[in-house]
């Protein structure tokens, strides 16, 4: 998506800030705040994202679905976020901002 957006004049795309490395892409500010991990962590960049996982009832304890949900909400998933320059919302200064409204 980032390559396609960079190649198309006037195109808009969405990515985590750490993923924008091309000089052909422009990160957009919200208000006067640039999109940085530090801005999200300190509550100065007013953006958060909530991911949803839907199941048909409670997945059985030994199922792949249950394992995947544990991965998303436990340390393993958080470690992957950090590895790619992101931060779990629960670890920011204002974790409640990232909860669904």
Q: Are 63 and 56 in contact (CB under 8 A)?
A: no
Per-residue tokens: 66 = 């249950």
Q: Are 26 and 10 in contact (CB under 8 A)?
A: no
Render pLDDT for 18-68 as a digit per residue (tens, 0 to 9): 778 778 888 888 888 888 877 777 777 776 667 788 999 999 999 999 998
What 8-state DSSP symbol labels residue 70? Answer: H
Confidence of residue 97 (pLDDT cuts 50, 70, 90): low
Specify the pTM. Answer: 0.54
Q: Which residues of 75-85 are buried (b: 16+ CB within 10 A; e: fewer)?
A: eebbeeeeeee
Higher pLDDT, 93 or 98: 93
Q: Are 34 and 27 in contact (CB under 8 A)?
A: yes
């Amino acid at each position: 998506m980032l390559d396609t957006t960079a190649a198309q004049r006037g195109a808009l795309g969405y990515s985590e800030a750490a993923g924008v490395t091309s000089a052909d892409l422009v990160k957009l500010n919200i208000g006067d705040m640039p999109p940085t991990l530090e801005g999200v962590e300190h509550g100065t960049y007013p953006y958060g994202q909530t991911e949803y996982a839907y199941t048909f009832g409670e997945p059985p304890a030994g199922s792949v679905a249950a394992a995947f949900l544990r991965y998303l909400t436990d340390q393993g998933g958080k470690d992957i976020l950090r590895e790619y320059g992101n931060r779990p919302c629960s670890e920011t200064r204002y974790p409640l901002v990232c909860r669904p409204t």
